[in-house]
Amino acid sequence: MDEYEEDYYEEDYDEDLQELLEDYRKRRLMECLTGPIISTMFHVVLIVVLCIFVIDRVVSEEAEIEVMLIEEIVELIEEIPEEKIEEPEVIDESTVPELSFESLDITETNDAIEDVSEEIPSTDDDLFSDEVSEIIVTESAYVASITGGRTNAGKSKGRKQHGAERTRGPQDLSLKWLAEHQNADGSWGNQNKGGLTGLALLAFLADGDTPSSKRYGTTVKKGLKWIIEGMKNDTIHDSHDYGYAICTYALADAYSITGIYEIKEILEKCVDRIIKGQSPNGGFDYNYKHSDRNDISFGGWNIQALKSAYIAGIQHPDLEKSLENCAKGIKLLYKDKGDYEGIFAYTSGHGSSLSTTSVGTLCLYLLGDKNKEFKGGYNTITSLGIENLQWKGNAWSLYEWYYATQVVFFEGGQNWKDWNRKFQTMLLKNQFKDGHWESPSNRESGGRHLSGINGKVYSTALCSLMLAVYYRNLPSISSFSKKKTEEVETEEEEVNLFE
């Protein structure tokens, strides 16, 4: 082989070798890359598949858990018994429902009162807590506790204790009638407005009504406003100043259960006038004249007014001394009849009656003087008065029963049970269907207040007060004095009666 051929073959060889090497390198490269690429792709695909699987599983598990929880909660709710919530009874307190006396048992029977306790009644009914929320506390915590009987709970307890549940409807009707017959200016009647307005207001206060009460708040507020304005303007002097005394009594009672300062302010002036108008002998004469005339009827209202003011915490330097003199004045009118009985005269040298005896006896009780004179009057009331509980004849029977009922109530015992049975039946039988009462007598002797609207207001107020005897009454002066150390000063209520 010559050089030419060798050179040819060398060149040809080199080219073929290079091609082979190139091909080899490509194959090797492909072989090297294919595995990793396939492996990478496989792992990527695997990872993607795994991710999809895991995510789907997690979502499925969460959905299952949520469904399970919801199902369990639903099952628990279904297992809880459904409590029925009763809708509260809606009561319209602005009116009193019409009551039918046909449904009331007003027969003379012992059934309603046979289980009544013979213990001396008490109006301190342990309601000085949540149950006294309807009564606004005044200067004395003790005052609030003894007027606590005028709450709904206190009234219910008092009636039940003395077998008088059947009196609730008739008394509600009497207040409804009085509210409907109040004059536009807040007074009652067309003659002797002072006395009639004071009596009517006392009936509402006895039932626990105040200027803020839902049912009769406006009625009470208007009545108080009329009295306060009359006292400020010195225009209440009807019937020898009976009206002044009775209105003072109403103001004192109102202050006891409300603590309204505006009442206290005028009440202090009224108390001062009564004390200064007391006669030297301890009694009272018409128009507060200083004389020897000692009128037990006029004096009775003044004593009730001073007693109530004292209980309410009114401060006057001569109040206690005046009350002591009141007892002396009442005793001057007493006459011993023997056999532990006695009577009280209307005035010195004047005749006596059960009416005047009832006035004198109650006054001595309220003054804390239960000595010979009180006992004599009480025995006369219980020996003759129970028999006298008949709706006939006497124009002054209601006046007598108003005082006597309180006396017998305070003493309790069998006499009270007998009195309570007869007087309940008598009052309920003789109440008119619209709620008012009229005097047992149609005579007008000595009683201008016994005719027309004046007689109806007078009679209805007294009868309503009698039906409140089970929870209304304040204690005697002596009972109160024993607890005066328990007084707690509290704030007075700020109420504007003239808004």
Phi-psi category of residue 229: left, alpha or beta, with phi > 0 → left and psi -120 to 50 → alpha: alpha
Give residue 395's pLDDT. Answer: 77
Q: Which residue has the higher pLDDT, 217 or 239?
A: 217
Residues with Cβ within 8 Å of 235's Cβ and at least 6 positions away in sequence, in order, are: none
Give residue 279's pLDDT. Answer: 97
Give residue 20's pLDDT. Answer: 58
Q: Which residue has the higher pLDDT, 187 or 24?
A: 187
Task: Output the DSSP codes for 139-206.
Answer: S-HHHHHHTGGGSHHHHHHHHHHTT-GGGHHHHHHHHHHHHHT--TTS--SSSSHHHHHHHHHHHHHH
Q: Name the phi and psi angles at 338, rounded to 5.
A: 85, 170
Q: Interhelix angle for 193-206 vs 168-180, to 10°?
A: 140
- The count of structural domains within the chain is 1
Region 245-272: mean pLDDT is: 96
Give residue 495's pLDDT. Answer: 55
Task: Output the DSSP codes for 313-336.
Answer: T---TTHHHHHHHHHHHHHTTEEE
With respect to residue 455, please indicate whether it lies within any of the assigned structural domains.
Answer: yes
Q: List the single range of 6-10, 342-346, 458-462 with lowest mean pLDDT.
A: 6-10
- Residue 205: give its domain's CATH number: 1.50.10.20
Using the predicted structure, report yes or no on whether residue 160 has a pLDDT greater than 90. Answer: yes
Half-sphere exposure of 279 (CA within 13 A, CB side): 23
Q: How confident is the model at residue 24 (pLDDT cuts 50, 70, 90)?
A: low
With respect to residue 476, please indicate whether it lies within any of the assigned structural domains.
Answer: yes
Using the predicted structure, report yes or no on whether residue 123 has a pLDDT greater than 80. Answer: no
What is the per-residue pLDDT across 310-319, written as a single tens digit (0 to 9) for each?
999 999 999 9
Using the predicted structure, report yes or no on whether residue 80 has a pLDDT greater than 60. Answer: no
Give residue 92's pLDDT. Answer: 42
Residue identified by tokens 């009162």 is 113
What is the per-residue pLDDT across 283-296, written as a single tens digit (0 to 9) for each?
999 999 999 999 99
With respect to residue 84, please indicate whether it lies within any of the assigned structural domains.
Answer: no
Element (H, E) at 337: strand 334-338
Residue identified by tokens 């002072």 is 194
Give residue 74's pLDDT. Answer: 35
With respect to residue 161, please indicate whether it lies within any of the assigned structural domains.
Answer: yes
Structure tokens at 458: 């007078």
Domain that holds residue 150: 126-486
Give residue 12's pLDDT. Answer: 46
* Mean pLDDT rounded to a whole number for the chain: 77
With respect to residue 91, please indicate whether it lies within any of the assigned structural domains.
Answer: no
With respect to residue 385, please indicate whether it lies within any of the assigned structural domains.
Answer: yes
Q: How confident is the model at residue 195 (pLDDT cuts 50, 70, 90)?
A: very high
Using the predicted structure, report yes or no on whether residue 483 has a pLDDT greater than 60. Answer: no
| C-alpha dihedral, 397 to 400 to 406 to 410, nearest 10° | -120
Q: What count of residues does the chain have?
A: 499
Give residue 32's pLDDT. Answer: 64
With respect to residue 64, please indicate whether it lies within any of the assigned structural domains.
Answer: no
Give residue 229's pLDDT. Answer: 97
Give residue 236's pLDDT. Answer: 94
Is residue 351 classed exposed, middle or buried when 0-12, 13-18 and 19+ CB atoms within 10 A define those classes?
A: exposed
What is the per-residue pLDDT across 394-452, written as a single tens digit (0 to 9) for each?
778 999 999 999 999 999 999 999 999 999 999 999 999 999 999 887 544 444 446 78
pTM, whole model, 2 decimals? 0.71
What is the per-residue pLDDT across 332-390, written as a single tens digit (0 to 9) for each?
999 998 878 999 999 988 888 999 999 999 999 999 999 999 999 999 999 988 888 99
Q: Which residue has the higher pLDDT, 345 or 35?
A: 345
The fraction of the chain above a pLDDT of 90, given in percent, is 55
Using the predicted structure, report yes or no on whether residue 210 has a pLDDT greater than 80. Answer: yes
Helix (H, G, I), strand (E, B) or coil at 396: coil
Q: How confident is the model at residue 47 (pLDDT cuts 50, 70, 90)?
A: confident
What is the per-residue pLDDT across 130-146, written as a single tens digit (0 to 9) for each?
332 233 333 433 344 45
